[in-house]
């Protein structure tokens, strides 16, 4: 098997700590399974601003465009709050998403059996939950023009524009339909067609894509506010959900907390296929940089490790290896090993970031 290229961007806060544990998993596959990764490393976010005066250099951007996949830790921290908006750490991440044209953000929400009691919902509501939210990532209200804060008379006015073309909607819809076809064959599209013209177009285009190319998929439509209510009322009614940038941001965070801990949740951002047939892709944990616990060795590395598992599945066509990583995580949790964020009333064995990584590596050989 040829070497698979991977750019690692640890970022800020707990990013470097959790990424260290991912490197252990990468090394295990190289040492034990002969799967060699050509790994390079760069700076993004606040650390890049400290070193170069920008949250992402042109050289790192070019490197991200050239590799098979990018794995990112987290960006940001309170020391950067007063920076100009154009150079805040988050702008580095947004530039990666925009210039790599990563239009489909996959956010799984899976409730591991050992953590079913961690959800704020009743155990029977979330036990066995396994849903996927596909969020459009490069358009919509976060990128639409005009935008800004202007003066009208004696007061300020904040302006953001929700804008979608039918081609932008169609391509993320196709990504969601393809994913649904590999899962249960069900897709729910969420928007606000009752009050927003962009929602009307969204619903029309998703339906058109379905009717033309995916008639085998069971498609339903739902207003996004009702979708939020249904996620906390009866989340297992869903399998794959597709929605726009803003609603996807909100709904995926809602779904994330159904599982009990943000420290458990990975994500993938996928773009168009490259010359080798693989999609451009960036993988990152859902959690932030958690500056309040950075450097203490108590961060949960599982979300970042599971993000690497998503890279194995979607960028490297190594589905069996991805399943092995997921099974190793399941085993470690079933054995009662817990980082600080996973310690609940039922107890468990408290372990550090490093020991969690070591335990998952050990479990890789036992599952």
Question: Catalytic site residues?
Answer: 142, 192, 225, 249, 253
Expressed in angstroms, the distance from the first to the final Cα of the chain is 23
> How far is 191 from 193, CA to CA, in rounded Å?
6
Helix axes of 319-334 and 353-364: crossing angle, nearest 10 degrees: 120
Q: How far is CA 115 from CA 107, 256, 356, in A?
A: 18, 13, 16
């Amino acid at each position: 098997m040829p070497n698979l290229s991977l750019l690692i961007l640890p970022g800020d806060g707990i990013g470097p700590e959790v990424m260290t544990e991912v490197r252990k998993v990468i090394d295990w596959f190289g040492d034990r399974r002969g799967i060699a990764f050509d790994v390079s490393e760069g700076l993004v976010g606040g650390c890049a601003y400290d070193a170069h005066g920008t949250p992402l250099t042109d050289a790192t951007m070019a490197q991200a465009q050239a590799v098979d996949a990018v794995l990112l830790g987290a960006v940001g921290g309170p020391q950067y709050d007063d920076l100009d908006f154009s150079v805040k750490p988050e702008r580095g991440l947004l530039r990666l998403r925009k210039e790599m044209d990563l239009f489909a953000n996959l956010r799984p929400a899976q409730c591991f059996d050992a953590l079913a009691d961690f959800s704020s919902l009743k155990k029977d509501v979330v036990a066995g939950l396994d849903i996927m939210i596909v969020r459009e990532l490069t358009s919509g209200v976060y990128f639409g023009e005009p935008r800004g804060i202007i003066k009208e008379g004696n007061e300020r006015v904040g302006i953001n524009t929700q804008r979608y073309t039918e081609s932008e909607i169609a391509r993320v819809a196709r990504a969601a339909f393809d994913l649904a076809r590999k899962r249960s064959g069900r897709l729910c599209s969420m928007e606000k067609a009752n009050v927003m013209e962009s929602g009307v177009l969204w619903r029309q285009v998703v339906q058109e894509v379905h009717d033309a190319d995916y008639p085998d998929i069971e498609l339903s439509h739902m207003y996004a506010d009702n979708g939020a209510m249904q996620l906390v009322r009866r989340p297992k009614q869903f399998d794959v959900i597709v929605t726009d940038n803003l609603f996807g941001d909100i709904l995926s965070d809602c779904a994330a907390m159904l599982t009990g801990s943000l420290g458990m949740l990975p994500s993938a951002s996928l773009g168009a296929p490259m010359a080798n047939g693989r999609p451009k892709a960036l993988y990152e944990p859902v959690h932030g940089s958690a500056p309040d616990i950075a450097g203490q060795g108590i961060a949960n590395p599982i979300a970042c490790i599971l993000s690497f598992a998503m890279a194995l599945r979607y960028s490297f066509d190594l589905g069996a290896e991805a399943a092995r990583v997921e099974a190793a995580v399941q085993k470690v949790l079933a054995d009662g090993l817990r980082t600080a964020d996973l310690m609940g009333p039922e107890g468990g064995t408290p372990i550090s970031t490093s020991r969690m990584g070591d335990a998952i590596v050990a479990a890789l050989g036992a599952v």
